[in-house]
Copies of this chain bind each other. A is one copy, B any other.
């Protein structure tokens, strides 16, 4: 799917909102609203999420997945969304291990997360934290960097990304734009992030 990936749509007036918002005119050619019926619509589109195949666990191993999660979250902690994570070192480390438990379980490994934490609906679990479209982009950028910097098998990167790229759309709960969240297929992410200078 990445070979025919469309370019990232710019978040600008040339990227028209996905819905008719019914909030008034858009620009100079405002349409009077009086007596108008603005049709029903939907907010954010949530693309299909392909969960990892058994190959991911078979090739990376549970320990390889855990190392990726740890490296990723070390980067996130230093990023512009670091405030979303526990400030205390011990709490942060425990959080990262819980996330690793989740990833390993979802990839078909030992069931460590669900017995301890119950329902694993991740959108619901993220509601207490204000997660914007931009926050998701930072999270993804740091994931790409972590995949490159850690020993995560190169042959798994595209499949792992193809899970997380749409999955993370479902974590967004604070909208700051009518534009749809950026679609960033693996080929485009590689072109954008691979080998880029790190702050």
A79 interface residue per 8 A CB criterion: no
Additional A-B contact list (14), CB under 8 Å, known A33-B51, A36-B51: A23-B167, A24-B102, A24-B121, A25-B114, A25-B121, A30-B120, A34-B53, A34-B54, A35-B51, A39-B48, A40-B47, A42-B44, A127-B177, A173-B174
Cβ–Cβ contact A107 & B52, under 8 A: no
A residues with a Cβ closer than 8 A to B are 19, 21-27, 30, 32-54, 57, 102, 106-108, 114, 119-125, 127, 130, 167, 170, 173-178
Do B26 and A106 touch across chains, with their CB atoms under 8 A apart? Answer: no
Q: Is the interface of A mostly helix, strand, loop or mixed?
A: loop
Please name all residues of chain B whose beta carbon is closer than 8 Å to the beta carbon of A44 when the two chains form the complex: 42-44
User: What chain B residues lie within 8 Å of A46 (beta carbons)?
Assistant: 19, 21-22, 40-43
